[in-house]
Every structure is written in structure tokens, then in C-alpha cells.
Chain A
Amino acid sequence: MSGHMNLTLKVWRQKNTQTPGKFVTYKAENISPDMSFLEMLDVVNESLTRKNEEPIYFDHDCREGICGSCSLYINGRPHGPKRAITTCQLHMRTFSDGETITIEPWRSAAFPIVKDLATDRSAFDRIQQAGGYVSVNTGGVPDANTIPIPKVIADEAFNSATCIGCGACVAACKNASAMLFTSAKITQLGLLPQGQPERYSRVQAMVAQMDEEGFGNCTNTGACEAECPKEITLNNIAFMNNDFFSAKLFREEHAHDHTGGE
């Protein structure tokens, strides 16, 4: 078993949203450096199950870095110490034999803990539902490429569209702000021609929903940008701010109440 690692894990265990949680220490033994972080947790869970203990609950799905399910705040950083990857893409060779690894859930009032390391990120879904879409009328299918889109615009929109909604931005932000996520969606649609009809109502509705969910305020520290597995940039936030102020202050025809009236 040469080259295999033994690690100490300090894991946040919490029965459900209401019950207070605590850290529990586990041994992760005989871990291959080629395993992903989640596979390492699978090994630990196997042994817990064999011992008739409750396995560690954590979110995961695709395990190839595109679904945004896996979260985990590892040793003080969302998705662990490496840049531009999700937790499922993090390999155990990143750590050294004998290391103690602290694993915490995303901490945000808007992301209540479901159990252990899994949080309820449906706040993001509600922000998305508030305006993160384009309305398409039914009818004949338009020809592909009938709407011209400059290459640079398509590229920028695509960069924003790579956001997988994992919530690492919220987890990393000292203010637990969701502005990187929200702005990525707003920018993606706001740049493209298909997104223009709803551009200014979208930004107002999505920002209102974001505030409603209880996320914090952005202070432009850039921790979100540093932790984003898809490297969404802070420029998205500037784009959102620009569209928001534009709608609220300079575009009377678009400035209307999106919160259902006062």
C-alpha cells in the first residue's frame, strides 16, 4: 500500500436544519492520492456504514465539474485549495499524508443546512426564476444564425453562462453575497440579443429576489472571483450594477415595481 495516505478529517455533522451541529473527527485511512475528494469521502462513508454509523451527508451528482452540486468548504476555501475546480475535481494528491482536513458546509443564512454538509441552495433557483430566462413565443422554428451576434459578445456571454450555480461565491464572500451568481445570469442574458426585451425588468426582478433571500452586500473584495470553479469575473457584477442603475435611474419606461407592489 505504498503511496497511500492517512488523513484526519474534522467534519461538520448536523442532524437537520433545526438541530445544532458540531465537528466530529474521523480517520481516512489507505486513501489513494489519485482519488477525488468525494471518492475519499465515499471510502470514509463505507467504513461508517460498516460500523453501523450514519454516513456523512454531502451533495454530489455529475462528479465531472459541471453540475454544481458538490460544495464543501475545505480548509478555509470553497471547493478546497485549488483554483477553478469543483470539489469532485479535487484530488487527494493535493493534500499531504497525515494532514488534518476541516470540512464545513457553505455558511449563509440563505443556504440553510439540510444535513451535515448539504445545504439548501434553492434560493439560487428562486433568483433564477425571478427573471433569469428569455421568453420565447411558440411558432415556426427560426433559421439558425438568423440573429447576428458578434463573436466577442458571444464569447463573453458564454463565459458568464459557464456559471454552474454551485454557491462557492456566496461561501467565499465575507458578506455571504450572491452578487457574482446573480450577475453572471444577468450578464449572460443581457449581452445576447434574445435577452434584450426583458433586460431591464430582469435585472430589477433578480436583484429584488436576491435581496429578498437575505444574501449580503458585495464589497468588491474579489474572493468570489478567486474561488469560482468556472472563473466568473467581477466584471459581471459591474455589468449588473450598470444595468440596474440604468433601469432604476435613467429608464423611466423600465423602472417599475417588481416586488408585487407596496
Chain B
Amino acid sequence: MSEFKQTFNSSLGKKLIMALTGLFLCTFLIVHLGGNLLLFKNDQGFAFNSYANFLTHFPPIEVIAYLLYLAIIVHAVYALVITIKNRRARPVGYAVHNKSDASWSSKNMGLLGSILLLFIVIHMGDFWFTYKYNNILGFKEYRTNLATNETTVSDYKPEIADFERSISTENNVEIVRVKDLHARIQHSFSYWWYVAFYVIAMGAVSFHLLHGFQSAFHTLGWVHKKYKPIIYFFGTWLFAVIIPVCFALMPIIYYIKSL
């Protein structure tokens, strides 16, 4: 046990934990984006609401979700511990601000991370908590004619108090009754300041990962002439451009639609 403690209390051990939790959170972003692209489907939220329903009712996802929350907390706590230690390493600062060559994002990981933590708390409070624990969301009923594949949608008032969802087929019509998270999204993203906050947060994701993704590999000691360009390519284009831009487009498009 002391060997274990010694490893993970060392400077490099803490960095290892930062790197591993960070990379885990990166992989989550890909999955999260993949699912949320359903928001771009013009089907009055049928696909998205069904997906949200699947996520909240499929046990293996629950397990991964708790690992994810744990990773976020560990990543944030270790960042704080490391930052405090780093501050103590230079109790008296310089009069002239350091001009050494280093990327802006690499020098502001703490600030960017703090914006992201605030974002995660608000984002989860608004959608995840509301979905799971708050009984304010309405329900939608999607009726799909299996012969023509046409879907009609209507509001649904549950007859029992703790109604969760139902899927049934009557006379060749599939009836899906699910919580309407899509309406919540439409509502939230109709406020310009809310949209602006999301866009700023996605900017923070971009710069955080521009440094973070490749830095994690560096910490792991995985630096190789052959793979470094590949890591930089994914860190820059996938994690710092494509993912944040796609995420930021969601609130922007929903805001434009709401006008």
C-alpha cells in the first residue's frame, strides 16, 4: 500500500492521474457528440428523446456514467492539488511577466478548466438533473405508422404519477412515449445569453484540449517521432476544432430556429 501511495503521491504519479482521467474524458466527448448530433435531425426530437431515454435506462451506461463523474471530480481535485503545489514552488513571483515561448492554452489550463467545471455543473443541472430527478419535464408521444414510416407527434399526459416511458405497437402503429428533453433544449437555447455561455464554454473546451490531449500523451511518456504528428493532428483537428464547433453549433442553430 505504501508503494502505491508513494507512486501516486509523487509529482509524476499525480500527472499520470491527470493524463488518464483527461484522456478518458476526451473519449467521452466523442460519444457525447455522436449522440447529440441527433439534435440536428428534423424530427421534432424523436430520435434525440429516444436516445436520451436509452441512455438513462440502459444499466451499462449508468456504470460508465458514474465512472465519468468520478473522472471529472478526480481530474478537478488533482488539478487543484497540483496547482497549489506549483504556487508554493514559487512563493515570490517575478516583477516582469514571463515572456518565454509557450502556447497561451498551455499556460491557462487552470482558467480554462475552471470555466469547464462551471459549465459542467450548469449543463448537468439543466439537463441531466432535470431529466433524472426533477419532475418538470413533459412527455411526448410519437406514433409511427410502420407501413408508411410516417411519424406524428403529440403531447402526452401520463396517467400514473411515476410514468417513465412506454413503447408499444397497436394496429401496425408504433407508439413511443418518452420524456421530452428536446423541448427543454429548445427552451434553454432560446435565450441568447445562455447560448453565449455555451459557445464560450466550447471555446474553453477547444483551447483546453488543444494543449491537454497532446500533453496527456507526453505525460504518459508516449512520445515517438512517428506518432507525435498523429497525436497533434487529432488533438488539434478533432478535439480542438471539430468537436467544440459541432457542440457550439447546437445552441446556435436552436437559437436561430427559436427566433
Contacts and interface: CB of A to CB of B under 8 A. Distances in A.
Nearest to A81: B99
A221 B2 contact: no
Contacts of B102: 174, 221-223, 226
B86 A220 contact: no
Which applies to chain B's interface (DSSP): helix, strand, loop or mixed? helix
B140 interface: no
Interface string B213-245: 011001111110000000000000000000000
A43 interface: no
B100 A175 contact: no
B96 A241 contact: no
Contact of A241 (B12, B90, B100): B12
Contact of B96 (A102, A207, A222, A237): A102
Nearest to A261: B2
A59 interface: no
Interface in A6-34: 10, 12, 23
Interface residues of B, number: 42
Nearest to B214: A220
Contacts, number: 147
Contacts of A235: 223
Given A104-B95, A222-B101, A244-B12, A257 B2 contact: yes
A107 B92 contact: yes
Contacts of B103: 221-222
Contacts of A78: 100
A240 B15 CA distance: 13
Contacts of A77: 98-100
Interface stretch (A89-97, A124-132, A193-201, A210-218): A210-218
A62 interface: no
Interface in B99-135: 99-103, 106-107, 109
B96 A174 contact: no
A122 interface: no
A217 B219 CA distance: 11
B6 interface: yes
B75 interface: no
A5 interface: no
B96 A76 contact: yes
Contact of A219 (B16, B98, B109): B109
B111 to A, nearest CB: 12
A78 B219 CA distance: 25
A104 B96 contact: yes
Contact of B89 (A23, A177, A241, A249): A177
Nearest to B98: A76
Given A208-B10, A219-B215, A248-B13, 18 more contacts: A73-B96, A77-B98, A109-B88, A109-B90, A175-B89, A176-B89, A218-B11, A220-B218, A221-B103, A238-B221, A238-B223, A240-B221, A241-B12, A242-B220, A257-B2, A257-B3, A259-B6, A262-B2
30 contacts: A12-B95, A76-B97, A77-B100, A81-B99, A102-B95, A107-B90, A107-B92, A107-B93, A174-B98, A174-B102, A174-B107, A177-B89, A207-B10, A216-B85, A219-B106, A221-B103, A221-B107, A222-B103, A222-B106, A223-B101, A226-B102, A238-B221, A239-B221, A241-B218, A241-B219, A241-B221, A244-B221, A246-B221, A259-B6, A262-B2
Interface of B: 2-3, 6-7, 10-16, 82, 85-86, 88-103, 106-107, 109, 211, 214-215, 218-223
